[in-house]
Amino acid sequence: MLGKEIEAKITSLREIDWRSLRFDFAIIFAPGTLERAPHSYIAAIQIPERLEAKIERTVGDNFKNVSIIRVREALKSAANILAGIGDAVRGISIVTILSGLLVLAGAIAAGRRRRVYDAVVLKVLGATRTVVLQAFLLEYCILGAATGLTAAVIGTVAAWGVASLLMGMPWYFEILPVLGTILLCIFVTLVAGFYGTWRAMGQKASPLLRNE
């Protein structure tokens, strides 16, 4: 400390959240260690912007050796940057979700002909419309759950990598977005699958089987 070696014993460790913007220090000594060392006092206040000039004049007139440093502009700039990053991430997420939904819809549409054939065969074998519809909807539900679970796992791993490895920020697992992703995939898959299955149920058996 100021060219002088100070021997101390580490008694505890703590975690500091620097995002709180509060005054804090990486190392704290026990009382009686640094009292004789040169030091300064620091304080932080938050006041309305319209009172800043008045407070500065009052402090400057009464305390000549006090320095005032404004951080409002820096905080606004940092907030704007973080907001821009958040908007970009949300935009990319929306595009990714829409792309995934389009791919899922395309996969369902590509299997429509097989669904029609399966529905016709099941009806010929004596299955009722309700049984066929329930079987297809169960298949779509499993497909949507698998798709949502895969998307949730990939998204969670990506979020952990960006927060922990790229930005050095603590990362916390949130269960609600994961469940929301899975439920959304199931819902979209069921809606698209129900529409395709309902149309397949209306197909006549004789023209299709005659062409096979």
pLDDT in tens, 110-145: 666 677 777 777 777 777 777 777 887 888 888 888
Backbone angles phi, psi at 39, to 5 degrees: -155, 165
In a domain, 66, yes or no: no
Q: How confident is the model at residue 68 (pLDDT cuts 50, 70, 90)?
A: confident
Percent of the chain at pLDDT exceeding 90: 0
In a domain, 11, yes or no: no
**How many domains does the chain contain in total?**
1
Q: Is the pLDDT of residue 21 over 80?
A: no
Bigger pLDDT: 50 vs 209: 50
Mean pLDDT of 100-117: 69
Q: Is the pLDDT of residue 211 over 60?
A: no
In a domain, 166, yes or no: yes
In a domain, 57, yes or no: no
Percent of the chain at pLDDT exceeding 70: 81
Q: Look at 42-51, 94-103, 145-154, 178-187 and tell me which has the smallest mean pLDDT.
A: 94-103
Contact predicate 145/183, CB 8 Å = no
Stated pTM of the model = 0.52
Contact predicate 105/154, CB 8 Å = no
In a domain, 180, yes or no: yes
Token pair belonging to 138: 């169960």
Contacts with 162 (C-beta within 8 Å, 6 or more apart), sequence order: none
Q: What pLDDT does residue 23 have?
A: 72
Q: Is the pLDDT of residue 16 over 70?
A: yes
Distances (CA, A) of 35 to 26, 38, 49: 18, 8, 36
In a domain, 159, yes or no: yes
Q: Look at 40-44, 49-53, 87-91 and tell me which has the smallest mean pLDDT.
A: 87-91
Q: What pLDDT does residue 207 have?
A: 60
In a domain, 23, yes or no: no
Q: What pLDDT does residue 64 have?
A: 80
Q: What pLDDT does residue 65 have?
A: 81
Mean pLDDT score of the chain, rounded to an integer?
A: 76
Question: How many separate helices (H) and strands (E) can be counted in the chain?
Answer: 6, 0
CA separation for the pair 40, 22 (Å, rounded) = 17
In a domain, 178, yes or no: yes
105 is in which domain, residue-wise? 89-211
